[in-house]
């Protein structure tokens, strides 16, 4: 606890010449987890330069050899599993068991990424297939890396969502400048300690730390960056998209995922999925269920079952693996409270919750939420769930689609035809039928539309997003 964590450039762990450090406070206890360096722009420059230089050799290293480094990374991560999970718990307040699962999922993700990349092949084409073409022209197409990838990750999955950028970048021959979320940076640094132990050549991966508001713009606009893979809030994402040079961007942003419960739904199944979807890790998941649309005729029954299910949700410390834990910081808890207060002022009906102890907000269920309330539209990133009663399924679809977001949606119906029809009309990257909204398994395509992002993640898609096709044409004379 309370160590001074260094940043990592060109294979060296260093303290910043600024002599400035940022204290990382635990969200759930009055303690400092550690300090990270607030680096300068010239140190950020050095990191990008180191990545640029290292990229030439890294690209030339065979994919199997690159894979071997990543396999060694997995081995080190497995050895450090408990240590990293403890850091995740202390730093971002995630239940210990879930933190362990995050590290295990990351190991699986890296392994799958290596294997997927090794089995991706290029293609060849004959000119004769096009009118007037001839067999004397042969195109050979294969994928090449983009160069230096800037990976910026959010606080809520500080290891998994960082590795989901770093692994596909590295296996496909890119080098990386990794900027973790400040709250989450120590978990990110520990994960990179494991990569360092794996003997990765210097400069191939560099970690820069400091507030996004201080070094973020500099990194994004830097001409040495060839691609940005970003996960975080929609406002930050929009700012990045405006500032970035003409380089590929992949963005995973916020959401307001609806669950639509229709008359014939299996309510017991829906209730279990909705409660776990909305309240796991206090709702601090991009794909948390953030509003429920329910047909009037079954609304009372649904609300009564949800209320009962909510009694089983545990509240307290991540060290005791509780589901509802203190939110990441006071600002976030104040924001969630503001959404609850606004809804109550506008006559939403409180079913349970609206109790607060510091940053801990008790699971809150609000019924009769209407379109004039902020809670119908804004992403709380906290444990509050609005119930919006609708007269028809079409009303639910309309209101779902009026959102600025379009990440995922859940539909609960036993009529598969109806579920498919609704799924077809919903503006979202993925629609889950009879299940909660969630990212993963990590090889499924993961897409945010509208304000929820751009580009596609998921192992194969992530590799594709960090490479481009290169075509060589042989002309037989």
Q: Which stretch binds ligand NAP (CB under 6 A): 2-10, 67-75, 236-244, 364-372?
A: 236-244
Judged by beta carbon, residue 85 or residue 215, the one nearer ligand NAP is 215
Residues 420-449 that bind ligand NAP (CB under 6 A): 448
Stretch that binds ligand NAP, among 63-71, 179-187, 354-362, 420-428 (CB under 6 A): 179-187
Residues 171, 463: contact at Cβ < 8 Å?
A: yes
Secondary structure (3-state) at 431 = strand
Q: Which of 206, 381, 400, 460 lies at the binding interface for ligand NAP (CB under 6 A)?
A: 381
Stretch that binds ligand NAP, among 70-78, 227-235, 293-301, 305-313 (CB under 6 A): 227-235
Residue nearer to ligand NAP on the CB measure, 56 or 211: 211
33 scored as a contact of ligand NAP (CB under 6 A): no
Selected binder of ligand NAP within 127, 224, 233, 316 (CB under 6 A): 233
What part of residues 181-210 is at the interface with ligand NAP (CB under 6 A)?
181-182
Label the pairing between strands 137-145 and 148-152.
Answer: unpaired
Of 11, 122, 212, 248, which one interacts with ligand NAP (CB under 6 A)? 212
**Quick check: 25 binds ligand NAP (CB under 6 A)?**
no
In angstroms, the Cα distances linking 197 to 246, 256, 361 are 35, 40, 40
Contact 35, 1 (CB under 8 A): no
Q: Is residue 154 a contact residue for ligand NAP (CB under 6 A)?
A: yes
Nearest-10 crossing angle of helices 160-171, 63-79: 160
DSSP for 117-182, written as a single string: HHT---EEEEGGGSTT--TTEEEEEEEEE-SEEEEE--SSSTTHHHHHHHHHHHHTT-EEEEE--S
> How many whole angstroms separate alpha carbon 462 and alpha carbon 215?
25
* Binding status of residue 286 toward ligand NAP by CB under 6 A: yes
Work out which of 29, 56, 211, 308 binds ligand NAP, going by CB under 6 A.
Answer: 211
Q: Does 231 bind ligand NAP (CB under 6 A)?
A: yes
- DSSP assignment, residue 282? G
> Residue 465 Cβ, how far from ligand NAP at the closest point, in Å?
14
Residue 7 vs 69, nearer CB to ligand NAP: 7
**Number of other CB atoms surrounding residue 336 within 10 Å:** 23
Smallest gap, in angstroms, from Cβ of residue 22 to ligand NAP? 8
Q: E strands, 305-370, where?
A: 349-352, 356-357, 360-361, 364-367
Which of 46, 116, 286, 378 is catalytic? The answer is 286
DSSP H helical ranges for 80-120: 81-92, 96-118
Question: How far is residue 433 from each of residues 166, 317, 365, 415, measured CA to CA in Å?
Answer: 31, 32, 23, 10
Tell me which DSSP letter residue 216 carries.
I
Terminal-to-terminal C-alpha distance of the chain: 69
In 3D space, the residue among 283, 293, 235, 296 whose CA is nearest the CA of residue 453 turns out to be 235
Contact characters 452-471, ligand NAP, x per CB under 6 A: -x------------------
Q: Characterize the bridge pairing of strands 467-475 and 137-145.
A: antiparallel
Which of 119/331 has CB closer to ligand NAP? 331
Q: Does 216 bind ligand NAP (CB under 6 A)?
A: yes
Give which of 97, 390, 435 is closest to 272, Cα–Cα: 435
Catalytic (active site) residue 286: yes
Total residues at the site for ligand NAP (CB under 6 A)?
A: 31
Q: Could you say which of 93, 173, 188, 254 contacts ligand NAP (CB under 6 A)?
A: 254
**Is 330 an interacting residue with respect to ligand NAP (CB under 6 A)?**
no
Q: Does 147 bind ligand NAP (CB under 6 A)?
A: no
Helix 96-118, helix 81-92: angle, nearest 10:
120
* 232 binds ligand NAP per the rule CB under 6 A: yes
What would you measure as the largest C-alpha separation in the chain, in angstroms? Answer: 79
In the complex, least distance from residue 72 CB atom to ligand NAP, rounded to whole angstroms? 27
Closest approach of ligand NAP to the CB of residue 183, in Å: 6
Does 383 interact with ligand NAP (rule: CB under 6 A)?
Answer: no
* Alpha carbon of residue 91 to chain centroid: 17
Question: From the CB of 313, what's the least distance to ligand NAP, in Å?
Answer: 21
Point out the catalytic residue in the list 252, 295, 378, 438: 252
Could you give the residue numbers annotated as active site? Answer: 252, 286
Q: Which residues bind ligand NAP (CB under 6 A)?
A: 152-156, 161, 179, 181-182, 211-213, 216-217, 220, 231-233, 236, 239-240, 252-255, 286, 379, 381, 407, 448, 453
């Amino acid at each position: 606890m309370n160590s001074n964590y260094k940043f990592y450039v060109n294979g060296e762990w260093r303290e910043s010449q600024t002599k400035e450090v940022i204290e990382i406070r635990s969200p759930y206890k009055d303690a400092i987890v550690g300090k990270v360096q607030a680096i300068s722009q010239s140190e950020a420059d050095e990191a990008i330069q180191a990545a640029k230089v290292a990229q030439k050799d890294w690209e030339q290293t065979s994919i199997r050899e690159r894979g071997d480094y990543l396999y060694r990374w997995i081995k080190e991560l497995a050895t450090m599993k408990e240590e990293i999970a403890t850091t995740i718990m202390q730093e971002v307040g995630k239940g210990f068991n879930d933190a362990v699962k995050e590290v295990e999922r990351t190991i699986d993700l890296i392994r799958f990424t290596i294997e997927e990349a090794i089995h991706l092949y290029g293609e060849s084409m004959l000119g004769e297939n096009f009118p007037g073409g001839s067999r004397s022209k042969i195109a050979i197409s294969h994928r090449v890396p983009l160069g230096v990838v800037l990976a910026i990750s959010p606080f809520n999955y500080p290891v998994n969502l960082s590795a989901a950028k770093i692994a596909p970048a590295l296996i496909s021959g890119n080098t990386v400048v990794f900027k973790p979320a400040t709250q989450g940076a120590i978990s990110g640094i520990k994960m990179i300690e494991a990569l360092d132990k794996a003997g990765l050549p210097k400069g191939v991966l560099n970690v820069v730390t400091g507030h996004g508001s201080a070094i973020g713009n500099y990194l994004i606009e830097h001409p040495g960056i060839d691609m940005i893979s970003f996960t975080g809030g929609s406002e930050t994402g929009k700012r990045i998209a405006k500032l970035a040079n003409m380089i590929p961007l992949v963005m995973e942003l916020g959401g307001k995922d609806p669950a639509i419960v229709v008359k014939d739904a299996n309510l017991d199944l829906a209730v279990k999925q909705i409660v776990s979807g909305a309240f796991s890790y206090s709702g601090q998941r991009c794909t948390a269920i953030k509003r429920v649309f329910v047909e009037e005729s079954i609304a009372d029954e649904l609300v009564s079952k949800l209320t009962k299910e909510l009694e089983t949700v545990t509240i307290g410390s991540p060290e005791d693996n509780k589901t509802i834990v203190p939110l990441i910081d006071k600002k976030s808890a104040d924001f969630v409270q503001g959404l609850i207060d606004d809804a109550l002022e506008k006559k939403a009906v409180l079913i349970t919750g609206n109790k607060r102890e510091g940053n801990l907000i008790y699971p809150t269920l609000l019924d009769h939420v209407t379109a004039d309330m902020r809670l119908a539209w804004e992403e709380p990133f906290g444990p509050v769930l609005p119930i919006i009663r609708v007269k028809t399924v079409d009303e639910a679809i309309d209101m779902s689609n009026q959102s600025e977001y379009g990440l995922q949606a859940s539909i609960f119906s036993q009529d598969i035809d109806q579920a498919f029809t609704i799924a077809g009309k919903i503006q979202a990257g993925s629609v889950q039928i009879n299940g909660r909204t969630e990212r993963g398994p990590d090889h499924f395509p993961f897409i945010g539309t509208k304000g929820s992002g751009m580009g596609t993640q998921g192992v194969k898609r992530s590799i594709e997003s960090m490479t481009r096709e290169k075509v060589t044409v042989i002309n037989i004379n």
